[in-house]
Amino acid sequence: AQSVSQHNHHVILSEAASLELGCNYSYGGTVNLFWYVQYPGQHLQLLLKYFSGDPLVKGIKGFEAEFIKSKFSFNLRKPSVQWSDTAEYFCAVNVYNAGNMLTFGGGTRLMVKP
Amino acid sequence: DVKVTQSSRYLVKRTGEKVFLECVQDMDHENMFWYRQDPGLGLRLIYFSYDVKMKEKGDIPEGYSVSREKKERFSLILESASTNQTSMYLCASSFRLVGNEQFFGPGTRLTVL
């Protein structure tokens, strides 16, 4: 079975710092990749997704992620974080021939200090 | 906007009780999912359904069952609640298309005493 690893469980940054959250997955075939975000007290919502094409994907709120197939990675980045980015971030992988099931990473809690 | 609603935000039950968690989506999605969310473990799939009356086990189905009698509604049942089922339960839905985005409900925080 495929697995998804998020190596940073907790990240604390000051406002305006740059962010990179790591995500690695174990499956070698065709995958669709997602980053979801859960703001305090809110629903889990989609930040961005990669299906095919340009491996650099841009999402909402200035986030982007880069798919590097050779490294089985899909890291999330933001050049300058804001206090409102404080949230928990989840990477998820959909294996192409496994229907619509997602496998999620363990999540990374980001705290941005004002 | 897609809306996924869950019957309760917070629920407290006693060990051995039968627990029903209900989820309703309003976008005519074929797929519906139940996850549990635990700190450090992310979201783990309990069951999913790709059509009315159809269900498939996810990664952690033990101790749970599901019911999907109508397309818009997907219920999670804990036949005999145990303390290790204390968790946040999330429902999601999506179109059947492979790789399609899942839309999540607000979650039900269940505490089993």
B100·A51 Cβ contact <8 A: no
Token reading at B53: 């009356």
A104·B43 Cβ contact <8 A: yes
Q: Which residue of B34, B43, B87 to mutate against A (max A Cβ within 10 Å)? A: B43
Q: Give the closest residue to A89 by CA, choosing from A67, A69, A68, A104.
A: A104
Residues in chain B with pLDDT < 50? Answer: none
Q: Are B102 and B33 in contact (CB under 8 A)?
A: yes
- Per-residue pLDDT of B22-43, as tens digits, reads 999 999 999 999 999 998 899 9
Which of B43, B100, B107 has the CB atom closest to A100's CB atom?
Answer: B100
Which B residues, 1 through 30, put their C-beta within 8 Å of a C-beta on chain A? Answer: 4
B45·A101 Cβ contact <8 A: yes
Q: What is the pLDDT of residue A93?
A: 92
- Per-residue pLDDT of A72-85, as tens digits, reads 999 999 999 999 99
- Per-residue pLDDT of A46-70, as tens digits, reads 999 998 899 999 999 999 999 999 9
Q: How far apart are CA B9 and CA A114, in angstroms?
A: 30
- Per-residue pLDDT of A1-27, as tens digits, reads 678 999 889 999 999 999 999 999 998
**Is 90 exceeded by the pLDDT of residue A39?**
yes
Q: What are phi and psi of A82, to 5 degrees?
A: -120, 160
